[in-house]
Each structure stands twice: as C-alpha cells, then as structure tokens.
Structure 1
C-alpha cells in the first residue's frame, strides 16, 4: 500500500472516529451538565457517570462503523480491551477535570463557575479522544478482521 493510500485510509478512519466521538461527546456533555448542574451530583461522579453513558454509543459506533473491518480479537477479548482502555481513559478524564477545576478555582480566587468547569471538561475530552483513537486503533480493534466463511448457496429443486 502506498504512503498516500495509507494516509487516506487513516484519514477515513479518523473522520469516522471523530463523528462517533462528536455524538458521544454531546451525550457526555449533556449527561455531565444534567448530573452536576441540575441534579447536584458530585463533580467527579458526574464526570465518570457521563463518560460511561457515552461509552455505550462509542463502542457501538466504533465497532460497527469506524473499525468494522478491523479487529482480529474475539468479541469477548475486544470488549474486555475496550472496557480496560475506557476505564483508564475515564479515570484520566476525571483526573484532568478534578485538577483543572482546582487550578481554575485557584486562578480565579473563588469556586470555578459553570463556564470554567465546562472549559476544563472540554479540554479533558480533547486529550482523552486523541488517546482513545490511538488505543482503539493499535490495541482494541487491532489487525484485520477475518472474513466470514462463505455460506454455500442452498440447492434449489425445480
């Protein structure tokens, strides 16, 4: 495969991944704000719960669309790797939000408001999205999926 063709393939994967990620991000932002700002759930708990809700969409979209031709692992191994990668990424996102909100509060000299909290949350999402793409591509959906065995056509009797 030529270098140009490889970059086109990666760009296509990236575009599909970002589309799935955009939908998942919207889900995460809405759930995060609903939990934290409307229902008063703890900041870190809101981040973790919102990430887990968005995770369902992310798995289905990436498995069935973005990386549909990739993944040499069994489905059980793939799901296990997906959960491990996303647990680590969710923890990283929560850590970034926690540290970022503490830092923003220190810089502001008061508790960070909704704008600052969401700015930090979006920054955490950007970092985690880039890491997830790399881990999905090189770990979770690694390799080319084996083609399904061709089913023999049924014999027709006249």
Structure 2
C-alpha cells in the first residue's frame, strides 16, 4: 500500500510536533505542579504561567526542527503570530482547566484534589494540542505561496 506523499509529509511534521509537544508538556506539568502544590499559586494562574514557560521550548523546537523547512517570512512576524496563537491556546487551556475543575468539584461536592486537577489538566492539554497544531501548520509556520 502506497501512502500519498502529502499524507506522509503531514505525518512526519505531525510526529515531530508531537515530540516537541511532549517535551513541552512535561515542562508545563512540572512547572504547574511546582507552582500550584509547592508554592500555593492558584490553579488558573499556575496553568497560565506554566504554559508560558513551556512555550519557550515549543517555539525553539517547532521553528528549528518541526517546521524548519517552512517559509521564514521574518522573525518578528512569526513571533507575533506564534504569540497570538499561543495566547489564544493558553486562554483556551486555562478556560478548559477552570471549567473541568469546577465540574469535578460539583460532581464530587468538594474541591477537586491533585489527581483530579492533573487529569483535567491533561485533558485540556490534549484538546489544545489539536488546536495548536492546526494553527502552527496553517498560520504560524505556513508554506510559502511558491511551494504550495
């Protein structure tokens, strides 16, 4: 069975994106738990700060490895799009975390514990990963018009 070249390229880019994302996720989860459970920061602020810390790894990994073959239309333009995309994704992740923690608390009729909060956090990360890949692929690190 022959795989279509576009599908093969998408799978290659997608797998590199997932590797960079896995490393960024480990950074995000570690910083999140440090902030929330060691330093007592609110879960939403912990989520936002941890996401921003992980974005440093995400930008470097995605620009220099995942999407290195893509158009480099200017670092400032790319950074602005990356920043806006990730501000939206960070906001979405924080909203999903807040809603999930509230829902778990309502179901349990008590505040969600660390295990439940981390499960909700992982679910929010999974949803945001899909949104982030689509935005990186078609907006931030897009193929130049001549290569399409």
With the length of structure 1 as denominator, give the TM-score of the two structures. 0.88
Residues 71 and 145, structure 1, Cα contact 8 Å, conserved in 2? no
Residues 72 and 145, structure 1, Cα contact 8 Å, conserved in 2? no
**What is the CA–CA distance in structure 1 between the aligned matches of 2:133 and 2:71, rounded to whole Å?**
14
Q: What is the aligned length?
A: 145
State the Cα distance separating 1:71 from its structure 2 match. Answer: 2.6
Matched, 1:39 2:16: no
Deviations 1:19-72 (A, max 9, x none): 000000000000000000111001111000000000000000000000001134
SS of residue paired to 1:111: coil
Q: Which residue of 1 aligns with 2:28?
A: 28
**What is the CA–CA distance in structure 1 between the aligned matches of 2:78 and 2:16, rounded to whole Å?**
19
**What is the CA–CA distance in structure 2 between the aligned matches of 1:98 and 1:134, rounded to whole Å?**
23
Structure 1 unmatched runs, 5+: 147-158
Q: CA RMSD in A?
A: 1.6
Q: Which residue of 2 aligns with 1:152?
A: none
Alignment of 1:1-158 (within 5 A): 4-144=4-144
Structure 2 unmatched runs, 5+: none
Task: Pick closer, same or farther for the CA change 1:57–1:106 going to 2, 3 Å.
Answer: same
Q: Which residue of 2 aligns with 1:153?
A: none
Residues 71 and 140, structure 1, Cα contact 8 Å, conserved in 2? no
State the Cα distance separating 1:74 from its structure 2 match. Answer: 1.3
Larger radius of gyration: 1
**What is the CA–CA distance in structure 1 between the aligned matches of 2:78 and 2:41, rounded to whole Å?**
32
State the Cα distance separating 1:143 from its structure 2 match. Answer: 1.4
**What is the CA–CA distance in structure 1 between the aligned matches of 2:145 and 2:47, rounded to whole Å?**
33
Structure 1 segments (4+ residues) deviating >3 Å: none
State the Cα distance separating 1:13 from its structure 2 match. Answer: 0.2
SS of residue paired to 2:4: helix
